[in-house]
Amino acid sequence: MIELKNVSKEFVSPKKYPGFKGAIKGLFSNEKVRKVAVDDISFTIEKGEIVGYIGSNGAGKSTTIKMMTGILNPTEGTCLVDGIDPSKNRKENAQNIGVVFGQRTQLWWDLPLSESFTILKEIYDVSDEDYANQMEFLNRVLELDEFFDRPVRTLSLGQRMRADLGAALLHNPKVLYLDEPTIGLDLVVKDNIRHAIKEINEKYQTTVILTTHDIGDIEELCSRIIIIDEGKKIYDGTLEDLKDTYGKRRKVTMEVRKPDLLKELQLFQKIESVNDVQITENDYDSVLDVEGKTYTVSFDKHKMQVPQILSAVMELTEVTDIKLQETELAEIVKEIYNHGGV
Amino acid sequence: MKKLLRTYLPFVANEVKTQLAYRGAFYLWAFISLFSSFISYFLWMAIYGSSESGVIGNLTQNEMVVYIFMVYITSSLVSISVSTWVGYDVVEGRVAMNLIKPIDYRASLIAQAMGDMLYHLVVPSVFIWIGIEIYKVFVLGMPVISLPTLLLYICSVLMSFLLYVLFDFCFGMLAFFTTYIFGLRMAKSALLSFLTGQLIPISLFPEAAQRIFDCLPFSSMIYTPVMIYLGKYTGEELVWAMGRQFIWVILLYWLGSLIWKQVTKRLVVLGG
């Protein structure tokens, strides 16, 4: 459905200098700054997939989306959406896609929502029958009829986002691009939007590409995720794989009576000697908080088990409470951003 | 063609509706610009009063009255500032929202401008026009406008409209390079009020200046239709005047397409 081959995008802008003197210097200088927003990205997305496209702010997510929608032309490489090159046949491509930019609206600001839908019906050449069917469906999943006659500028953010999603889906596009569709929404609306996306994907086999900072969106919607950082693709695979690779660490926090006694503890040697396994320094990480009387160990769950740690600790001091944590996806993602790669 | 109409007609209709939503602002604007027409009316009356000849720049005093108010009507129909819209679209990053739809950005702007023109036609142009005709016949004792002249005027105004909008689209493209074009727009409207004959009839300028103006598209925007309305052009001159309008429409259309192609190539969408 979507095929990106070695796509790069470079922005060139005049060089800015700091301060007032710099502003004047800027008037006369002709120096340019090159910034590579997207650097040699390739991937293929099949029909009906929901792909989470994630990365930190400024990683190049929106730029990639803009190239796939035909707003920006790639500096290098080719991009094909359903066999059409958006940079060459923008209008043809636009007929096949629906786009929601969470921070913008494509609706007519001063007019009732219903007017925007009428105009979109004509733009996309939707037949009366399709329009009626699609509106019925959209009303059911997005509940647009509550505010269908109100001017768009009077809608709340949640209503506007639902309206925008509805507008993007009116012509039943083959591909739906969602750029931060749940930004700034409360939990209930977020949930509604996610349900709607899921239902549309199931009903029409719509391919969905979603950029978000909300881990909940990814966990609920995406079967596959692509992570980019500083314009480069650093991960492409299923959510489960990612969790398997990075989610193997667990964290146990123990409240102990006499933390001083644990200062000398060499946990991995202790466990190695008892259990006959090879453990390296990298497999675990321990923090002793003497003041708060806690001892925290994060470890590879394939190498060590909680009872082993517990018994090693309990040989030295009494444990009053323990807490066990699985790694969350948010932490995995954070770790990937920080380390800049898989 | 039918598809074209179906796609862009809603833009015309929506613009009329938007104008209705903000009609207070429009009435105020219409009133203020009519006010400035009265200022130039009184100024010209004083000039004619102190002049010996009674004919200034080929226009009699009565013709000057008609000229002043027809300029008002024509410019409210013709000068629809699409560059303002382009400017806002660029600053607020809305150009992207237009590019994701299977429509032509310029065509949608022209359709939108047409909505504005239709709205201005009803309020206040038609009423002022009727007022002018009544004043002309009963107070100035001039004959009522003939149907062929009126039709020629309408034709010429339509071309002026396209001419202005296409020119202003090209001008608005500057927003992509400078990001903010408010100041440039001010400069443009000051310059245009001279070059289009809005402030002073072009026939008042020295012969050499008039030759230069003939080579520019601006006099075709307002001066030409008003002169046609006054019946100042006949025969070959009329064909030339309207032919010039037509040629400028084609040239500016072509120029606009060329610039748009360059702009979309180096487009930077503001704001994420």
Chain A residue numbers touching B267 (CB-CB < 8 A):
71-73
A115 touches chain B (CB under 8 A): yes
Distance, in angstroms, between B101 CA and closest chain A CA?
Answer: 5
- Residue A340: what pLDDT? 53
Instruction: Answer yes or no: are the C-beta atoms of B78 and B217 closer than 8 Å.
Output: no
A94 touches chain B (CB under 8 A): yes
Residue A20: beta bridge partners?
none
What share of chain A in percent tops pLDDT 90?
A: 27
Parallel, antiparallel or unpaired: strands A50-54 and A76-81: unpaired
Q: What share of chain B is helix, strand, coil (3-state, %, to 5)?
A: 80, 0, 20
CA distance A123 to A119: 6
| B102:A92 CB<8 A | yes
Residue A294: beta bridge partners?
A255, A289
CA distance A178 to A194: 11
Distance, in angstroms, between B34 CA and closest chain A CA?
Answer: 27
Chain B residue numbers touching A70 (CB-CB < 8 A):
99-100
Which one has a higher pLDDT value, A241 or A31? A241
pLDDT bracket for residue A192 (50, 70, 90): confident
Parallel, antiparallel or unpaired: strands A224-229 and A232-238: antiparallel
- Residue B271: what pLDDT? 41
Domains A2-244 and A248-326 in one fold: no
Chain B residue numbers touching A122 (CB-CB < 8 A):
6-7, 9-10
Cα A7-A233-A37 angle, rounded to 5 deg: 55
Residue B110: beta bridge partners?
none
| A108:B96 CB<8 A | no
Is A22 a residue whose pLDDT tops 80? no
Residue B236, CB-side half-sphere exposure with 13 Å CA sphere: 0
A131 touches chain B (CB under 8 A): no
The residue of chain B nearest to residue A117, with distances taken between CA atoms, is B10
CA distance A219 to A48: 17
Distance, in angstroms, between B96 CA and closest chain A CA?
Answer: 6
Distance, in angstroms, between B188 CA and closest chain A CA?
Answer: 23
Distance, in angstroms, between A108 CA and closest chain B CA?
Answer: 9
CA distance B265 to B272: 18
Distance, in angstroms, between B31 CA and closest chain A CA?
Answer: 23
CA distance A133 to A170: 10
pLDDT tens by residue, B209-246: 888 888 899 999 999 999 999 999 988 999 999 999 99
Instruction: Answer yes or no: are the C-beta atoms of A119 and A131 closer than 8 Å.
Output: no
- Residue B93: what pLDDT? 76
Instruction: Answer yes or no: are the C-beta atoms of A296 and A322 closer than 8 Å.
Output: no
Residue A250, helix vs strand vs coil: strand
pLDDT bracket for residue A276 (50, 70, 90): low
Q: Where are the domains of chain B?
A: 2-265
Instruction: Answer yes or no: are the C-beta atoms of A295 and A287 closer than 8 Å.
Output: yes
- Residue B270: what pLDDT? 46
Phi-psi region of A319 (alpha: psi -120 to 50; beta: other; left: phi over 0): beta
- Residue A61: what pLDDT? 87
Burial of B206 (0-12, 13-18, 19+ CB in 10 A): exposed
| B101:A70 CB<8 A | no
- Residue A31: what pLDDT? 75
Distance, in angstroms, between B25 CA and closest chain A CA?
Answer: 14
Which of B101, B176, B267, B269 is the best residue to mutate to test the A interface, defined by the most A CB atoms within 10 Å of its own CB?
A: B101
pLDDT tens by residue, B162-197: 999 999 999 998 888 777 788 888 899 899 988 998
CA distance A173 to A98: 6
| B99:A111 CB<8 A | no
Strongest mean pLDDT among A107-116, B160-169, B199-208: B160-169
pLDDT tens by residue, A151-163: 999 999 889 999 9
pLDDT bracket for residue B122 (50, 70, 90): confident
What share of chain B in percent tops pLDDT 90?
A: 46
Residues 6 or more apart whose Cβ sits within 8 Å of residue A197: A50, A165, A176, A178, A181, A208, A210, A221
| A91:B9 CB<8 A | no
Residue A1, helix vs strand vs coil: coil
Cβ-Cβ contacts under 8 Å between A and B: the total is: 76
Calculate the dihedral angle through the C-alpha atoms of A321, A326, A329, A335, rounding to the nearest 10 degrees.
Answer: 80
- Residue A214: what pLDDT? 83
| B268:A13 CB<8 A | yes
| B21:A71 CB<8 A | no
Decide if the complex's ipTM is over 0.90.
no
- Residue A259: what pLDDT? 81
Q: Where are the domains of chain A?
A: 2-244, 248-326
pLDDT tens by residue, B17-75: 888 888 788 888 888 888 888 998 999 999 998 988 888 888 899 999 999 999 999 99
Closest CB to B14: pick one of A66, A95, A115: A115
Q: Which CATH entry fits the domain spanning A2-244: 3.40.190.10, 3.10.105.10, 3.40.50.300, 3.20.20.70?
A: 3.40.50.300
Residues of chain B with a CB closer than 8 angstroms to some CB in chain A: 3, 6-7, 9-11, 14, 17-18, 21-22, 93-94, 96-97, 99-104, 264-265, 267-269, 271-272
Give CATH for domain A248-326.
3.30.70.100
Chain B residue numbers touching A72 (CB-CB < 8 A):
267, 269
A122 touches chain B (CB under 8 A): yes
